[in-house]
Amino acid sequence: MATGLIHDPTEDCQACVVCRNNRPFQLPDEIVEACLEGKLIVFAGAGISTETRPVFPSTFYEEIVHSIGATGSRITFPQAMASFTNKYGRSRLLQLIKHRFDYIESFPELRLWASRFHVELSTIYPIRDIVTTNWDALFEDFTGAIPIVTPEDYAFWDLPERKVFKIHGSINNLGTIVATEKDYDQCYKRLQAGVIGSSLRHLLATKTPLFVGYSFEDTDFNRLYGYLKREMGEVLPRSFIVTIDERITHKTHSGSTVIYTDGAFFLNVLKKRLVEDKVMFPDSNFDGLEEILDRVNEANRNLFVQLPYKENPSVI
C-alpha cells in the first residue's frame, strides 16, 4: 500500500520534486483526537490529485484559459469554463475533461502521482467521510469510498462503508459536472435546499473539517469555505487547512489552523502517530498481500481442475 513517493524532509532533498513540499510540522492533538473518535472529515481539492505539476505541466484551468485567449487575465475558474462553453460548446468541454483523465489512466507513473493522497488515506480506517470538489474517481478506486453524487445515491447512505460526497459531480456521470458560473450557482442552491446540503451541514456540526489541496485563489475553496461559514456560523467547528500556499493564513481564514505542508505527507505523519499509539497497523503489513491472494486463487483454481467439485463435493 505504500506510495513510494513519501520521503521524510531533509536538507539534501529540498529541491527534489518528490519531497520538496514535505515540510516539517507539529501535528495538532485535536486532529489526532478527532480521527480516533471518527470525527475527522476531509475536504479535498484538486491540489491532492490530478492538478499537480508532476502529473501535468499545466493545470486544466491554464489550458482552458490559453484556448480562449485569456492568458494573463485574472479570470476565475468558472468564468473560464463558461467562456470556453460559450465559444466551443459544453460537449467539447466535457470531452476535454474526459480526455485528461483517460490520459492519466494510460500512464501508471501519472496515476501514481495523482493518487498519492488517496493511497495514504486508504488505510486510515477512522476517516469515513470525504467531501471533494474533484471530478476524478480516485477516492472510489483507492479508498473504497462509495460516491454520493446525486440525491438518488442516498440509497447507500446507511451502509457502513466510507463515503465521498462529490459536490461538483463525477467523471463517471458527466451530466453532474459543475464547471461554469451557472453550474456553480445551481450547485450552491442545491446545497442550501437539497438533501446533500442537509447531510453536509449535519456532518459539519458533529465533525472536525480538514481542508487539503486548496490554494488561496482556488474558486472552489473560497466558495465552499464561504458557504460553510454562512450556513453554519458559530456552530462550525474549528477547521484545519493543510496547504503549501502561504497566502492562506489564520487571518485570511478566521477560525482555522493552517498547516504548511504536502497533503499526502500530512497523512503519512498522522498515520505514523496512529501506528505509534497502536490504533492501526503500519502499511508495511499490507505489502505482498496482493501477490499472496493471487497465489491462493491460483491454488484454488488448480484444486478444482484436479478434483472437480461435482464428482468430489468434499473439496468444498
- Whether residues 55 and 85 fall in one domain: yes
| Nearest residue to 103 via CA among 36, 42, 57, 69 | 57
Q: Look up the domain containing 308 and give its range.
A: 291-316
Residue 137 lies inside a defined structural domain of this protein: yes
- Whether residues 123 and 269 fall in one domain: yes
Residue 53 lies inside a defined structural domain of this protein: yes
Give, for 95, the enclosing helix (H) or strand (E).
helix 90-106
Q: Are 120 and 264 in contact (CB under 8 A)?
A: yes
- Whether residues 155 and 304 fall in one domain: no
The reported pLDDT for the residue numbered 178 is 94
CA angle 59, 61, 69 (to 5 degrees): 115
Average pLDDT in the 259-265 region?
Answer: 95
- Whether residues 159 and 301 fall in one domain: no
pLDDT above 60 (res 3) = no
- Whether residues 171 and 313 fall in one domain: no
Residue 158 lies inside a defined structural domain of this protein: yes
- Whether residues 225 and 82 fall in one domain: yes
- Whether residues 269 and 295 fall in one domain: no
- Whether residues 126 and 98 fall in one domain: yes
Highest-pLDDT range among 3-12, 104-113, 227-236: 104-113
Residue 260 lies inside a defined structural domain of this protein: yes
Alpha-carbon gap, residue 172 to 219, rounded angstroms: 23
Amino acid type, 7: H
Place 155 in a pLDDT band, splitting at 50, 70 and 90: confident
Residue 2 lies inside a defined structural domain of this protein: no
Residue 16 lies inside a defined structural domain of this protein: no
Percent of the chain with pLDDT over 70: 93
The reported pLDDT for the residue numbered 2 is 44
pLDDT above 80 (res 316) = no
- Whether residues 213 and 137 fall in one domain: yes
Amino acid type, 254: S
Residue 6 lies inside a defined structural domain of this protein: no
pLDDT tens digit sequence for 160-217: 889 999 989 999 999 999 999 999 988 888 888 778 778 888 887 788 999 998 887 7
The reported pLDDT for the residue numbered 198 is 82
SS3 211: strand
- Whether residues 120 and 148 fall in one domain: yes
- Whether residues 54 and 137 fall in one domain: yes
Read off the C-alpha cell for 55. 502529473
- Torsion region of 38: left, alpha or beta (phi above 0 gives left; psi -120 to 50 gives alpha): left
How many independent structural domains does the chain possess? 2
Residue 94 lies inside a defined structural domain of this protein: yes
- Whether residues 192 and 263 fall in one domain: yes
The reported pLDDT for the residue numbered 158 is 75
Percent of the chain with pLDDT over 90: 52
pLDDT tens digit sequence for 69-126: 988 888 989 999 999 999 999 999 999 999 999 999 999 999 999 999 999 999 999 9
CATH number, residue 200: 3.40.50.1220
